[in-house]
C-alpha cells in the first residue's frame, strides 16, 4: 500500500527493503506532492503577483491557494496571518529580527527551554548579545519533560517572549504549551511555538492555543524542502517591520536621483510604503513550486486513509484525519518503546510512556558509538539519524556527545520496528566479538564491510 503512495519506498538499499526511520529530519514525499510540483512546471510556470497573462494568474492562484490551505490546517483566523518562508528556521529568524529587534531592549529577558533546536537558540543568543538582554532556560526533568513548577517562576515582568518547541526533536516530548501560553500572557509576555515536529503528527489550532507566533516546516510534513511558514497574530505582524526588502513587498518607493537639499547628516529621506500583509514579509521571487507542494502535502494529510483506521472522507474536518494519524503513530510508538526496552544495554532518552511523546525516540547502546550502529543498520536497509540532532546544549545536559534516533511516520509499521530491533541486536553481536577488541580496534567502516558481506 505505502509503496504506491510514496515512490521512494520501492527502493532497495543494499539489497534490502528500505525501512525509513529518519522522519524527524525529513519525511518522504507522496506521489501527489511530486505530481503537483511537476504539474506546475509543466503547465503553469510563471512568476506570481506580477503579470496579467494567463500563466501568471494561474501560478498566483495556486500559490495563494496553498496559503489558504495552511491557514485552514492550523486554524488561523485570517489568511494574512500566514507568512510563507523557506522553512521553520527562517520563520524564527523573521520574528527575532523584526519583532525581537523592535521589542527587546537592555535588561529584558527571553525564556527558552533546555530542549530547543539550535534554530530556536542561536538567533535569540545573537539578539540578546546585541541588545544586552538576558536568556533564561526552562529546565527539564530526568524524563525529558519541562518542569512547570520551575518554568513558571522564570517568567518575570522583564520577560518579553517565551520561545518553546511544541515537541522536542530529540526527546519526542509533547510540551504543555497551553499552560505555558496562558501563564506567559498573564505575565505580559508573548509566545512563539516551534511546531516543526508537531504539525504532521498532532492537531494544531493556533486560535485555541492563543499563541502569538507558530512556525512550521514543509519538508517535515511530507512537503518539499525549502518551504515553511510563520503564523503571527495580525495585530503583531502589522506593527513589525519587514524582515527582508526588495521586489514584491512594497507598494511604493521613490528615489531622489539628484537631491537638491540633502539633510544635515548628508543622508536622504526614505520614501517607501510597504505592501499589506502578508506580502510585506515575502520579498523577492518565491519558491513557487515548493509552496504548491506544501499545499499538496496538506491535502494529503487532511484526507489520508490512515492505516488500520479507514479512509477519512474529504468532507470531514481535517482534525479527524490528523487524529487518525496520531492514533496510528501512538500505537506504533508504544510498540517501539516496548520492543526497544527489551534490548540489553539500550538507554532511551525522554518520556518512557507513549502518551507523553510522539514517535521520536533517541537512544544509545552501551559500548557502541551511534555512528557505528547507524552504519550497520544502513547495511540492512534501515535509515536512522545519529549525531547531536542540532541540539548540542541538550546533549550536554544529558551528559552525552551524540545519540541515535528513530522517528516514525504514517508509512511506518510494526514490521519496520521488528527489523530495527533485529538490526540493533545484530550490531551488538557483530561488535561484541572478542576479535573486535584486539589491540588494533577495527573501525566502523570495517564493521560495515563485515555487515554487508554477512561476516559475523
16 DSSP β-pair partners: 13
> Around 364, how many Cα atoms within 13 Å sit in the side-chain half-sphere?
15
254 DSSP β-pair partners: 271
Nearest-angstrom CA–CA distance, 37 and 290: 7
Nearest-angstrom CA–CA distance, 204 and 376: 37
Q: Which of 231, 187, 183, 178 is nearest to 209 (CA)?
A: 178
C-alpha of 101 from chain center: 24
C-alpha cell at 133: 538582554
Q: Which residues are catalytic?
A: 390
Nearest-angstrom CA–CA distance, 274 and 276: 7
Given 3-state DSSP classes, what are the helix, strand and coil percentages for the chain, each rounded to the nearest 5?
A: 45, 20, 40
SS3 labels along 3-69: HHHCHHHHCEECCEECEECECCCCCCCCHHHHHHHHHHHHHHCCCCCCCCCHHHHHHHHHHHHHHHH
Q: Helices 444-453 & 370-379, crossing angle to 10 degrees? A: 20
Segment (H or E) for 328? helix 318-340
Burial of 2 (0-12, 13-18, 19+ CB in 10 A): middle
Burial of 136 (0-12, 13-18, 19+ CB in 10 A): middle
C-alpha cell at 191: 509566545
Strands 82-85, 346-349: pairing is unpaired
Which strands make up the sheet holding 346-349, listed edge to edge? 346-349, 360-365, 403-407, 385-387
Number of C-beta neighbours around residue 245 at 10 A: 14
Query: Is 230:76 a contact under the CB 8 Å cutoff?
Result: no
Note every long-range contact of 452-456, with CB atoms under 8 Å and residues 24 or more positions apart, other chains counting. Answer: 452/14, 452/379, 456/426, 456/429, 456/430
Amino acid at each position: 500500500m505505502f509503496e504506491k503512495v510514496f515512490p521512494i519506498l520501492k527502493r532497495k538499499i543494499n539489497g534490502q527493503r528500505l525501512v525509513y526511520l529518519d522522519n524527524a529530519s525529513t519525511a518522504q514525499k507522496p506521489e501527489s506532492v511530486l505530481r503537483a510540483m511537476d504539474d506546475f512546471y509543466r503547465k503553469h510556470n510563471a512568476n506570481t503577483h506580477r503579470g496579467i497573462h494567463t500563466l501568471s494568474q494561474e501560478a498566483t492562484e495556486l500559490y495563494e491557494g496553498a496559503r489558504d490551505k495552511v491557514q485552514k490546517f492550523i486554524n488561523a483566523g485570517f489568511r494574512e496571518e500566514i507568512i510563507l518562508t523557506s522553512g521553520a528556521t527562517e520563520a524564527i529568524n523573521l520574528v527575532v529580527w523584526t519583532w525581537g529587534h523592535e521589542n527587546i531592549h537592555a535588561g529584558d529577558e527571553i525564556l527558552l527551554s533546555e530542549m530547543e533546536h539550535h534554530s530556536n537558540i542561536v538567533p535569540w543568543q545573537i539578539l540578546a548579545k546585541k541588545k544586552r538582554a538576558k536568556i533564561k532556560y526552562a529546565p527539564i526533568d530526568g524524563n525529558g519533560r519541562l518542569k512547570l513548577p520551575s518554568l513558571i517562576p522564570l517568567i518575570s515582568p522583564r520577560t518579553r517572549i517565551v520561545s518553546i518547541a511544541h515537541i522536542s526533536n530529540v526527546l519526542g516530548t509533547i510540551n504543555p504549551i497551553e499552560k505555558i501560553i496562558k501563564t506567559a500572557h498573564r505575565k505580559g509576555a508573548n509566545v512563539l511555538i516551534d511546531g516543526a515536529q508537531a504539525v504532521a503528527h498532532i492537531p494544531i489550532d493556533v486560535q485555541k492555543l492563543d499563541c502569538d507566533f507558530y512556525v512550521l516546516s514543509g519538508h517535515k510534513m511530507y512537503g518539499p524542502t525549502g518551504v515553511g511558514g510563520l503564523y503571527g497574530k495580525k495585530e503583531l505582524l502589522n506593527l513589525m517591520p519587514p524582515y527582508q526588502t526588495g521586489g514584491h513587498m512594497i507598494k511604493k518607493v521613490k528615489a531622489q536621483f539628484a537631491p537638491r537639499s540633502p539633510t544635515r547628516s548628508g543622508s536622504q529621506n526614505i520614501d517607501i510604503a510597504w505592501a499589506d500583509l502578508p506580502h510585506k514579509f515575502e520579498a523577492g521571487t518565491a519558491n513557487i513550486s515548493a509552496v504548491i507542494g506544501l499545499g499538496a502535502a496538506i491535502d494529503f494529510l487532511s484526507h489520508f486513509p490512515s492505516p488500520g483506521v479507514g479512509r477519512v472522507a474529504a468532507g470531514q474536518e481535517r482534525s479527524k484525519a490528523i487524529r487518525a494519524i496520531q492514533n496510528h503513530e501512538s500505537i506504533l510508538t508504544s510498540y517501539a518503546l516496548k520492543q526497544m526496552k527489551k534490548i540489553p544495554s539500550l538507554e532511551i532518552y525522554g518520556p518512557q510512556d507513549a502518551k507523553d511523546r510522539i514517535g521520536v525516540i533517541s537512544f544509545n547502546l552501551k559500548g557502541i558509538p551511534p555512528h557505528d550502529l547507524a552504519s550497520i543498520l544502513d547495511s540492512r536497509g534501515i535509515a536512522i539519524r545519529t549525531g547531536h540532532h542540532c541540539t548540542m546544549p541538550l546533549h550536554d545536559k544529558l551528559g552525552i556527545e551524540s545519540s541515535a534516533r528513530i522517528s516514525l511516520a504514517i508509512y511506518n509499521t510494526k514490521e519496520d520496528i521488528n527489523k530495527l530491533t533485529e538490526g540493533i541486536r545484530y550490531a551488538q553481536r557483530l561488535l561484541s566479538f572478542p576479535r573486535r577488541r584486539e589491540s588494533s580496534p577495527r573501525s566502523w567502516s570495517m564493521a560495515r564491510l563485515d555487515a554487508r558481506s554477512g561476516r559475523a
